[in-house]
Amino acid sequence: MNRMRLWLAKANPVVFVAFAGLAGFCAYFSMYAFRKPFTAATFDVVAGWDFALDYKIALVIAQVAGYALSKLIGIKVIAEMRPERRAAAIILLIGVSWIALVLFAVVPAPWNVAALFLNGLPLGLIWGLVFGFMEGRRTSEVLGAILCASFILSSGVVKSVGKALMENWQVSEFWMPAAVGVVFMPLLAVSVLALATLPAPSPADEAERVARRPMMARERAAFLAAHWPVLLLLVAAYVMLTAFRDLRDNFAAEIWQALGYGDAASVFTASEGPVAALSLVAMGVLIAVKNNGRALLFMHGVILAGFAILGASTLAFQQGLLSPIVWMIAGGAGLYLAYTPFNAMLFDRMIAYSGTVATAGFLIYVADSTGYLGSVALLLFKNFGAVDLPWLPFFVGAAYATSLAGLILVGGAAILFLRGRGDGSPSPKGSESQERP
């Protein structure tokens, strides 16, 4: 392993990006096989479930609640995690999540809902652990874009695998999630081993992107106090994005069914391929932008464009100008153009621009922990607030609300950043050498 690490440290940047990007992509892709397959099932009739809350909504809320709690825990754990412990932590946490899926299959309803909470609890830490291998490098934009492409593609793929297992192999709705996890276990093991061989960021990386170190409580509080106005607006926009993304992701089966594609297992994957490619290209070009301030402005523009595309494509669909598949692709492209920067590049560049020795994982988990609470709130509203409103009209309304609110919030954050207020926008202190035009 040490020999491989030394070789990678001296390798051509293209070779390094290909190796590290593929390792990160496969590791996080594999994680989704333990998180999302259950959403491919509709659970129309479940013995033992006699509650007003829809059974599948209860499952999603339970998993998201565990995931959200994990994000809160991750604010501390990810910020303080030592690099050499990341790989073992990934394997251990995903192993625990798979055991929870087995419990989901063997424990009868309604008690098996708790198993989905236990499944989500460890998985919420995986993104920060994997991204920790990617951040703080001159190639972080490309690595981050590749990593983000994994969660765009993987959700559709693992749901397609889950649907195929049910239709072609007669695996039950309850055993299917654990079975999909088994399918992806070998890929998970190989990819995490590859991540463990990656060298730390080089001195040249640290000179351009600032050194990344664990952040203790005092350092975390100081960073939030210095940048809270911009962060408040961005996190509020991310809450909307997370809630809408989870709605689209967790209830894709119901939405596609309403659109007339309920029996096509491949539709999950086919709709996400173009979305992943567009997001990868949009974020990958950032590697050419050396000036961290300009890169931050560019990302604000990409996020705003994503919100605009989401709203415009939904309007075009309602007017009959777009077919259902084209609308889902266009709306997904807008969603992920806005969503992707929050999960990697935005906060990585913010830390580089501030000149603070820190970790981007901390800021990602601050946003995530709040975002998933919004997701739970939206699901509860769907079940109890929107009386008898079918999935498709509810989804369309959520798309409009997300688009409008996102444009206002991120637009406000961009204005604050442009004004360069010392109390709100990231300060270039300590990074003048890297901020030359």
pLDDT tens, residue by residue, 183-221? 999 999 999 999 999 999 999 988 888 777 778 888 888
Lookup: tokens for 156: 């559709």
> What 3-state class would DSSP assign to 393?
helix
CB atoms within 10 A of CB 328: 25
According to CATH, the topology of domain 214-423 is: Growth Hormone; Chain: A; (1.20.1250)
pLDDT at 379: 78
CA 141 to CA 146: how far, in whole Å?
A: 9
Per-residue pLDDT of the chain (437 residues; tens, 9 = 90+): 788 999 999 999 999 999 999 999 999 999 999 999 999 998 988 999 999 889 998 999 999 899 989 999 998 999 899 999 999 999 999 999 999 999 999 999 999 999 999 999 999 999 999 999 999 898 887 898 889 888 878 888 999 899 999 999 999 999 999 999 999 999 999 999 999 999 999 999 888 887 777 788 888 888 888 888 999 999 999 999 999 988 888 787 788 888 887 655 455 556 566 777 777 777 777 777 888 888 889 899 999 999 999 999 999 999 999 988 889 889 988 998 899 888 878 888 888 888 776 777 888 898 888 888 888 888 778 777 655 678 889 999 999 999 999 999 999 999 988 886 443 344 444 344 343 33
- CATH code of the region 1-43+50-211: 1.20.1250.20
Taking the domains of the chain in order of start, what are their residue ranges?
Answer: 1-43+50-211, 214-423
Distances (CA, A) of 378 to 89, 118, 235, 346, 401: 31, 21, 16, 25, 12
Q: 358 pairs with which residues across the strands? A: 212
pLDDT at 397: 93
Pick from 154, 150, 125, 124: nearest CA to 36: 154
Is 214-423 the same fold as 1-43+50-211? yes
Angle between helices 176-196 and 86-106 (to 10 degrees): 170
Query: Which pTM does this prediction carry?
Result: 0.78
